[in-house]
Copies of this chain bind each other. A is one copy, B any other.
Amino acid sequence: MHTLSKNQQIIFDIIDKSPEPMKAYSILFNVQKKGIKAPLQVYRALDKLVEIGKIHKIESRNAFIACQNSSCQVSKATAFSICESCEKVTEINNSSLSKYLSNFKDKAGMKYSKYNLEFFGLCKKCITK
């Protein structure tokens, strides 16, 4: 198991506590009281946390969320649902889906080592508004 460094722990904690994905400069603003002053300090921690699978980047939003999936050691197979109204993001943990995608081969026979899937729609709350 990986032990986080000081900066990594600070930045993981704030992402983990957040109910929604956080952007890098919002993270920076929120950790300045803890002594983290520069964007690079944030980005380096983010890079490492993504690498070890503790957080994921929501590519379409340039934002980061803590991994919701206890069995997810590395960010090799990620899927998210994104509400286009309230921007709520949920990590999808569905074994049928992950099996289907992990075994997917395209016509050219290329075998993939990683995928990222983002679904967009309206969440239950927003659909009734």
Contacts and interface: CB of A to CB of B under 8 A. Distances in A.
A19 interface: no
Given A94-B106, A106-B92, A115 B113 contact: no
User: How many interface residues does chain A have, given as a range?
Assistant: 20 to 34
A25 interface: no
Contacts of A97: 104
Contacts of A118: 59, 115-117
Contacts of A113: 84, 120-122
Contact of A121 (B81, B114, B120, B121): B114
Q: How many copies of the polypeptide does the oligomer hold? A: 2
A36 interface: no
A108 interface: yes
Given A116-B117, A118-B115, A110 B123 contact: yes
Contacts of A92: 106
B114 A120 contact: yes
B116 A112 contact: no
